[in-house]
């Protein structure tokens, strides 16, 4: 099994009534595998897993195949365990309580009991409905599917079902829209979902910028997480609808950062919303009703469903998308490459048969059945056959120990900076020296925490994407998804403030300023004495992580 997988599980491994088959996907905290049912619902002595609860269905109600989502809830550090368990609890609670035709189904939850495999012992396994592909894969293969209006009507139906039940999805995007074997649509990835408490719910502070409403781009993060309303899902639907129907995002910009800035300017009244002229008239009004400057002005879920259904036509909700297998496969062979129409944080992959089958079960970085060996690097916004371990290979060595789970975040963080010295290699080298890539690092004596060794009072100034400081000092632990982009923003601010005539390697000087300050580096005209050991280690890993020819 490739090291790219957060939870490596060998083919043929038995989990309850399921036998693990080919790997489907992986991310920072979990991995997904195809599985076939080999049991009859009765646990036998010697099985390395058993039911944690009765699940949604049991025995004869189980399908012949499923997707198994492995989460290492028994093998992580205490801080990571807390985070993982919160995400699992969110997802499982929604699955247990909601059964709707537009939401992907969970059949069981299992707990691995296998002391002989410490890396798997105690892991939580979600047994989920197996899909054939995702909307992100469909968009990459055919950027404007003819079924676009009908597809959107089904997505709107899924949102209405969630909102009517008192839940917010929290992370609607193409990768989280599944396409089933019959061509119908399911919403998936509910580990950011939350139940409403009056007008609000509380979710973790993670989201995909292109689908995040502007009011959440600068919101404060409280003890319970970020406050979110159903209107956040409505905004995401508007972005998604524009993308499906025109092949472009509704806000201008070549990168997620530029589009985020455009959304901020629009929300503050500094710019207008300029929708594509290719957007059909009825959908133009729907998208405008979703993409309002404030949440109060946005259309509600029930009204959105009515209008989307009407815009899709009389047969819209009954329409079935083309099957992803059989005579109408969507292949990438001999198809011209186009810029990806989905956020760069979703790596679209092609399966061994050529069918695009990128799935979405709450995993942010997807790899194909071929594992790390078959991937090639891709820049920001590109679509490619890529693995978590090989992402950005042209900019960062793949064979020198940079954890696959952080590669995409490191590369994209560097791309968000317009200073040429702030590269993926620099960020990776600094993370290695700062923490040895330990997301749970805690050094109370120096008041430094997390993978980038942030001091809370300093992180306050760099944690928000819109450049505004937090009103309160954040409290650790600081997740990598927060710490690494904050490091990139700080380095991008430091670089132009260092004097141009300083001797030595420019990247080493930037790293030294991160450890001290740019003023100190300028005043000492180079690397200060007290950080020379640190600077030397950074210099070593700058060479270690640089691809051949870029050292």
Per-residue confidence (pLDDT) for residue 388, from 0 to 100: 45
The two tokens of residue 244 are 């499906």
Per-residue confidence (pLDDT) for residue 350, from 0 to 100: 26
Per-residue confidence (pLDDT) for residue 399, from 0 to 100: 84
The contacts of residue 520 (CB under 8 Å, 6+ apart) are 513, 528
| CATH class of segment(s) 133-312 | mainly alpha
Place of tokens 């919160």: 86
Topology of domain 14-128, CATH: Phosphorylase Kinase; domain 1 (3.30.200)
Per-residue confidence (pLDDT) for residue 374, from 0 to 100: 29
Per-residue confidence (pLDDT) for residue 394, from 0 to 100: 87
What is the arrangement of strands in the sheet containing 49-51, beginning at the earlier edge strand? 14-15, 18-26, 31-37, 65-71, 124-128, 106-112, 49-51
Residue whose C-alpha is closest to residue 532's, from 502, 512, 547: 512
Neighbours of 74 (CB within 10 A): 18
For the chain, 551 residues long, give each residue's pLDDT as a single digit of tens: 334 566 789 999 999 999 999 887 776 567 889 999 997 654 443 344 444 444 444 444 788 999 998 887 665 544 455 555 666 666 666 666 666 678 878 888 888 999 888 888 888 888 888 888 788 878 876 666 678 898 999 999 999 988 988 888 888 998 889 888 777 888 887 767 777 777 877 676 566 788 989 888 766 566 666 778 899 999 999 999 999 999 899 998 887 778 888 888 898 888 889 899 999 999 999 999 999 999 999 999 999 999 999 999 875 555 455 544 433 333 222 222 222 222 222 222 222 222 223 345 655 433 333 332 222 222 222 222 334 455 678 899 988 888 877 888 898 889 889 899 999 999 999 999 999 999 889 999 999 999 999 999 899 888 776 666 666 788 888 888 889 999 999 999 999 999 999 999 999 999 999 999 999 999 999 999 999 999 999 999 999 999 987 65
**How does DSSP assign 369-410, residue by residue?**
TTGGGG-----TT---S--TTTTTTTTS-SSS---HHHHHHH
Place of tokens 């293969």: 141
Per-residue confidence (pLDDT) for residue 128, from 0 to 100: 87
* Under 8 Å between Cβ of 330 and 356: yes
Examine residue 36 and say whether the peptide bond preceding it is cis (omega within 30 degrees of 0): no
The Cα 125–Cα 266 span in angstroms is 42
The Cα 69–Cα 172 span in angstroms is 19
The Cα 63–Cα 391 span in angstroms is 34
Neighbours of 157 (CB within 10 A): 22
Per-residue confidence (pLDDT) for residue 366, from 0 to 100: 35
* Under 8 Å between Cβ of 117 and 48: yes
Which runs of consecutive H residues, i.e. helices, occur in 297-423?
A: 301-312, 404-415
Per-residue confidence (pLDDT) for residue 2, from 0 to 100: 38
CA atoms in the 13 A half-sphere facing the CB of 164:
15
The Cα 131–Cα 159 span in angstroms is 19
Between helix 148-164 and helix 230-246 the angle, nearest 10°, is 170
Query: Hey, where are the domains in the chain?
Result: 14-128, 133-312, 404-545
CATH of 404-545, one of 1.10.1660, 1.10.530, 1.10.150, 1.10.10: 1.10.530
Residue whose C-alpha is closest to residue 126's, from 167, 91, 99: 91
């Amino acid at each position: 099994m490739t090291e790219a997988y957060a939870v490596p599980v060998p083919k043929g491994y038995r989990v309850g009534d399921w036998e693990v088959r080919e790997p489907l996907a992986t991310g920072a905290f979990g991995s997904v595998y195809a599985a076939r049912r080999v049991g009859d619902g009765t646990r036998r002595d010697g099985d390395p897993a058993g039911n944690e609860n009765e699940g949604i269905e049991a025995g004869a109600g189980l399908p012949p195949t499923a997707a198994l989502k492995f989460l290492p809830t028994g093998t992580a550090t205490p801080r990571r365990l807390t985070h993982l368990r919160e995400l699992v609890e969110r997802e499982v609670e929604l699955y247990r309580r909601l059964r709707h035709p537009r939401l992907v189904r969970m059949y069981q939850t299992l707990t691995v009991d296998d002391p002989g495999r410490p890396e798997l012992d105690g892991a939580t396994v979600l047994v989920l409905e197996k899909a054939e592909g995702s909307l992100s894969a469909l968009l990459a293969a055919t950027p404007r599917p003819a079924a676009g209006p009908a597809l959107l009507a089904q997505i709107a139906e899924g949102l209405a079902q969630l909102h009517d039940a008192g839940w917010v999805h929290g992370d609607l995007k193409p990768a989280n829209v599944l396409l089933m074997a019959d061509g119908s649509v399911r919403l998936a990835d509910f580990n950011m979902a939350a139940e409403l408490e009056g007008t609000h719910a509380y979710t973790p502070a993670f989201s995909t910028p292109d689908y995040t409403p502007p009011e959440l781009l600068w919101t404060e993060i409280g003890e319970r997480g970020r406050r979110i309303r159903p209107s956040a899902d409505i905004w995401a639907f508007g972005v998604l609808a524009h993308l499906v129907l025109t092949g472009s995002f509704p806000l201008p910009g070549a990168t997620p950062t530029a589009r985020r800035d455009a959304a901020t300017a629009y929300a503050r009244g500094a710019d207008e919303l300029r929708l594509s002229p290719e957007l059909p008239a009825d959908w133009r009004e729907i998208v405008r009703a979703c993409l309002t400057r404030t949440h109060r002005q946005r259309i509600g879920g029930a009204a959105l469903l009515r209008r989307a259904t009407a815009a899709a036509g009389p047969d819209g909700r009954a329409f079935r998308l083309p099957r992803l297998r059989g005579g109408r496969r969507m292949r990438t062979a001999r198809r011209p490459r186009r810029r990806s129409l989905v956020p760069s944080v979703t790596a679209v992959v092609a399966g061994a048969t050529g069918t695009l089958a990128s799935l979405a079960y709450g995993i942010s970085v997807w790899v194909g059945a071929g594992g790390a060996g078959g991937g090639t690097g891709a820049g920001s916004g590109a679509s490619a056959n890529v693995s978590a371990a090989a992402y950005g290979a042209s900019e960062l060595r793949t064979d020198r120990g940079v954890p696959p789970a952080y590669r995409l975040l490191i590369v994209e963080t560097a791309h968000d900076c317009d200073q040429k010295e702030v590269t993926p290699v620099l960020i990776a080298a600094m993370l290695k020296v700062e923490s040895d890539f330990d997301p749970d690092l805690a050094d109370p004596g120096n008041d430094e925490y997390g993978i980038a060794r942030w001091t809370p009072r300093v992180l306050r100034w760099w944690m928000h994407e819109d450049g505004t400081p937090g009103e309160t000092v954040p409290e650790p632990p600081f997740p990598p998804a927060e710490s690494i982009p904050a490091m990139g923003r700080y380095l991008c601010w430091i670089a132009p403030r260092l004097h141009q005539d300083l001797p030595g390697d420019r990247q080493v000087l930037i790293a030294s300023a991160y450890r001290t300050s740019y003023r100190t580096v300028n005043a000492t005209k180079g690397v200060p004495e007290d950080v020379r050991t640190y600077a030397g280690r950074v210099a070593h890993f700058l060479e270690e992580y640089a691809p051949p020819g870029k050292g």
